[in-house]
Structure 1
Amino acid sequence: MCKPLCHELKLPQTAFDILMFLANNPEFKTARDIVEIRKLKANLVSVNIDKLVNEGYLVRKNVEGDRRKVQLLCTDKAQPIISRGQQLQEHFVEQLFADIDDTTRQTIFQGMQQMELNLNLILEGN
């Protein structure tokens, strides 16, 4: 669903995903967060963050008290892309859950949460 938008914006899918992740999850602000939560390779994240910074969609900000840590912040230039991406996400969810009642949706979400926990345990080797 995002491919036409990425093509129009001349943004790699991974760069778009990083931008959307940071916008949709403000509690996660670092490259390490992206690597750990999204399970992406660090070098791929690094290259795409550099691209987003160079194109003015992200800025790096040093964290006070920990000079090794750098926060990634979306810029005003990124906001139109984020808005369009969020509209695509909302449309996708609406299509995905069309004709599914609220009770069934709740059951699906609970099952997905448990599967996410199970997957994290598998990936951690437990």
Structure 2
Amino acid sequence: MNLKIEFARKMALAYTAVCRPLCQEMKLPQTAFDILMFLYNNPEYKTARDIVEIRNIKANLVSVNVEKLVQDGYIERQAVEKDRRKTELICTQKALPVQKRGRGLQQEFAERLMMGLSDEDQKKLAIYFSQMEKNLDQIIKGDER
């Protein structure tokens, strides 16, 4: 099997192209939009560190964009009671319309990505990706076959 490295790059470029009009309309950098969408789609993750580790955005970019989002009223910082050094990022009501529209764009992107694949092929693809994710987890843990 020969997965081309170009696939991941093209997917990222296409996703950015789909999101660009909304980002321009809302005057949000792509990274700020990505942070809002990450928080919306993954409510179990709430810290800048989570965004750095899970979304794989560089720490300095997360820091700058979180600050912009705070200043623009899209998110608030909230200290965690058990550990005051830890700060959670809480989306405000102002963020919700952007996030809902962004979710629609993500859905549209997924549908366009799957164009030309039958329902059966899409189901198979989901099974294949699920298995590959399990395999990746085992590789990361260092498990032998």
Instruction: Give the Å deviation of 1:47.
Output: 0.5
Aligned residues: 125
Q: 2:126 aligns with which of 96, 106, 109?
A: 109
Matched residue, 1:118? 136
Which segments of structure 1 move beyond 6 Å, counting only runs of 4 or more? Answer: none
Matched residue, 1:13? 30
Instruction: Compute the RMSD of aligned alpha carbons.
Output: 2.3
1:44 aligns with 2:86: no
Matched residue, 1:63? 80
Matched residue, 1:98? 115
Note the residue ranges of structure 2 that are not aligned, 5 or more in a row: 1-17
Q: 1:3 aligns with which of 11, 15, 20?
A: 20
Note the residue ranges of structure 1 that are not aligned, 5 or more in a row: none
Q: 1:77 aligns with which of 76, 83, 94?
A: 94
* Secondary structure of the corresponding residue to residue 117 of structure 2: coil
Instruction: Give the Å deviation of 1:98.
Output: 2.7
* Secondary structure of the corresponding residue to residue 124 of structure 2: helix
Q: 2:51 aligns with which of 18, 21, 34?
A: 34
Instruction: Give the Å deviation of 1:31.
Output: 0.4
Larger Rg, first or second structure (1 or 2): 2
Moved more, 108-117 or 65-74: 108-117
Instruction: Give the Å deviation of 1:72.
Output: 0.5
**What amino acid maps onto 2:67 in structure 1?**
D
Aligned counterparts of 2:139 and 2:53: Cα–Cα separation in 1: 13
Q: TM-score, normalising length from structure 2?
A: 0.76
Instruction: Describe the shift of the 1:120–1:67 C-alpha distance in structure 2 as closer, same or farther (beyond 3 A).
Output: farther
Q: TM-score, normalising length from structure 1?
A: 0.87
Aligned counterparts of 2:82 and 2:33: Cα–Cα separation in 1: 30
